[in-house]
Amino acid sequence: MKKTLLALGAIIMMASCSNEKNPFMQEWDTPYGIPPFDKISLSDYIPAVKAGIKQQEKELDAILNNPAAPTFDNTIGAYELSGEILEKVTGVLYNLQETEGGDEMEKVAEEATALLTAHGDEISMNRKFFERVKIIYDADQSALTREQQMVLKNLYQSFTRNGVNLDEASQAKLKEINQKIAAAQQKFGTNLLAENNAFKEKFGFPVSSYTSEMTSCEDRARREEMFKAYSSRGNNGNEYDNKALCLDILKLRAEKARMLGFDSFAAYELDDKMAKDPQTVDNFLDEIQKASNAKAKEEVYDMQKVMDEDIAAGKLAKGSRIQPWDWFYYAEKVRQRKYDLDENQTKPYFKMENVRKGAFAAAHKIYGINIEPVSDVPLYNPAVETFKVTDADGSLLGIFMTDYFPRSSKRGGAWMNVFRDQYLDRDGNNVRPIVVNVGNMTAATDSLPALFTIDEVETVFHEFGHALHGLLTQCAYPSVSGTSVKRDFVETFSQFNENWAFQPEILSEYATHYKTGEVIPSYLVEKINNSHKFNQGFMTSELCAASILDMKWHELTVEDLEKMSQRDQAANVAAFEEKVCKEMGLIDEIIPRYRTTYFNHIFNSGYCAGYYSYLWAEVLDKDAFEYFQEQGLYNPAVATKFRRLFLERGGSEEPMVLYMMFRGAQPDPGALLRARGLE
């Protein structure tokens, strides 16, 4: 959905009696315009979606029937400010589906998705609308601001990429394909949530704790059991099996791409990204995988030496070799020896509240913003905490929420999302965003507060980097504000923010012992930073392998996928994965970070043919951080330049134009390899 808003009077006039009490049809008289979660029920969503669709249809009719010649303001600008009800309801529905999911919520989301998909297709295939947009696009654009030019370009491309030039029969077929894709993606997510919950029931901990459990578990047989259960999610032959669903989604996407003139879905998806084409991505990933594979082989050698000691001590059978389920356990042993670093030493300094305080402190130190808690505001769950973010002059930048801990209703992973986007309303008022960070980090126990691992600390800073991108934005139009940038650019700012997590100046402000209040000792800080390049062969290999697997699936043609679907689907999915891993040279001791049947990023999120974005953006983020280091880490001029050019501009300019304005040069690909110790 496009990000939009409109004045509320029209809503009240069109609301039926049955909708008068629907919270989505009323003005939200709440602090900062936070959704009134306590007044919203499951029965409110679908009526609001239907009313919102009718509202936007009327608004679009008014645009298309305007007798005046098409202009940016009466066509593009008017469309940007349409659909208030839909923006309100979808902002709540899809956020809560991921955090407060359940059978009834999934049914609501499924019905809403079908309605919204059909509505979106009606807009994107509307030739009359496209004709007005094309007139503006083909005309002299010199009087438009650069942001307006980007909004216009994006809308024009959305028409051409979504079938506006197809004949009527082809459009009908494409609409059917879009509906099937949307339904299948919903089902994939529902299945994976069920599989994640089954994993927790079996082992007593959520999938988000898998790495830490594998690191500390001394029982090798149990490690193997956990590994096999974790890596076979969605691939168990039960009612939640995702194999056939994955192949269906891939085939539908390939059919869509072909209809729109592309050889594969990867080619279609990359056509409007920074990378532009699959070959560029394949070459990029190939170079990284070669370097990481070589490093990973060295890491296996080091771990095998430690395992051999356990064999000599009679703890393991003779001839035991490192297997995938051994990696985390023995890597930790090697790390303890090489760097004398045990996370049991560091966790006491990384209490959740302190880590979050550190992310806030870094943002204050670098960008001058202030963050303070607010109370007596609506919450969608008691675990949520809310903060007000203000600029140095006291002006409101936005509202920020955190929801860090796992629960059975929440999908796995960590992410940033918005309940409301930033934009300028009809009266020129700067509407500020409502942003949320969600995670599945280590929760408190009866005896301990929530103490985070080093990886979880980085996750907090990563997601807050996304939040800063959403909170600091200063755009006029919602479709380009905040994180609405090209997919292979968006991770630049989250990953950039990770660089501050363990800087000594930042650590001294937040890393204090949860019992004694002692600031983390300098020797532990040194150990943490010295160990940052440790195990990067593994970390990079599994990430790059997942990126390559994503690309190879989406480079398949309709014919390739039809053959897979007609034969043994389970064998075909496994054989394809094995073939891809062999061709990339992935060593046997490592599997892709996500295997096909639980690869939520590409089957139920926006990263299809785009998981490479994390590595692509890391080149930019590490190159930018090297610039900060060269100019002085806390150089106010450099920080202000970064904020103004990136965090405030959203998608209002092409990414590489902004990067060149900031850096004065093309990004150096070697920055990623240097940062990961892979040169």
Task: Tell me the pTM.
Answer: 0.92
pLDDT in tens, 152-201: 999 999 999 999 999 999 999 999 999 999 999 999 999 999 999 999 99
The rounded distance, in Å, linking the Cα atoms of 247 and 197 is 24
The pLDDT, as a whole number, for residue 14 is 37
pLDDT in tens, 453-476: 999 999 999 999 999 999 999 999
- Residue 173: count other Cβ atoms within 10 Å of its Cβ: 16
DSSP code at position 647: I
pLDDT (average), residues 383-404? 98
In b/e form, how buried is each residue of 81-120, taking b as 16+ CB within 10 angstroms? bbbbbbbbbbbbbebbbbbebeeebbebbeebbbebbebb
pLDDT in tens, 246-278: 999 999 999 999 999 999 999 999 999 999 999
pLDDT in tens, 481-497: 999 999 999 999 999 99
The pLDDT, as a whole number, for residue 105 is 95
pLDDT (average), residues 398-413? 95
202-346+536-613 topology per CATH: Neurolysin; domain 3 (1.10.1370)
The SS3 assignment for 584 reads coil
In b/e form, how buried is each residue of 423-435, taking b as 16+ CB within 10 angstroms? bbeeeeeebbbbb
pLDDT (average), residues 436-447? 96
**High-pLDDT (> 70) share of the chain, %:** 97
pLDDT at residue 511 above 60?
Answer: yes
The pLDDT, as a whole number, for residue 51 is 97
Domain range summary for the chain, segments of one domain joined by +: 9-124+126-161, 202-346+536-613
pLDDT (average), residues 591-618? 95
pLDDT category at 128 given cuts 50, 70, 90 is very high
Lowest mean pLDDT among 387-401, 557-571, 577-591: 557-571
9-124+126-161 topology per CATH: Neurolysin; domain 3 (1.10.1370)
pLDDT category at 12 given cuts 50, 70, 90 is very low
φ, ψ dihedrals at 390, nearest 5°: -125, 155
pLDDT category at 20 given cuts 50, 70, 90 is confident
pLDDT (average), residues 397-408? 97
The pLDDT, as a whole number, for residue 2 is 43
The pLDDT, as a whole number, for residue 567 is 74
Asked if 647 and 469 touch (Cβ cutoff 8 Å), the reply is yes
Q: Compute the C-alpha angle 373/377/379, nearest 5°.
A: 100
pLDDT (average), residues 615-624? 97
Annotated catalytic residue, options 98, 463, 626, 653 = 463
Do 9-124+126-161 and 202-346+536-613 come out as alike in CATH topology?
yes
The pLDDT, as a whole number, for residue 534 is 94
**High-pLDDT (> 90) share of the chain, %:** 94
353 as an active site residue: the answer is: no
The pLDDT, as a whole number, for residue 275 is 96
The pLDDT, as a whole number, for residue 4 is 38
Q: What is the mean pLDDT of the chain?
A: 95
pLDDT category at 19 given cuts 50, 70, 90 is low
Asked if 648 and 525 touch (Cβ cutoff 8 Å), the reply is no
pLDDT (average), residues 202-224? 95
- Residue 156: count other Cβ atoms within 10 Å of its Cβ: 18
Helix 243-259 vs helix 536-554: crossing angle, to nearest 10: 60
pLDDT (average), residues 198-206? 95
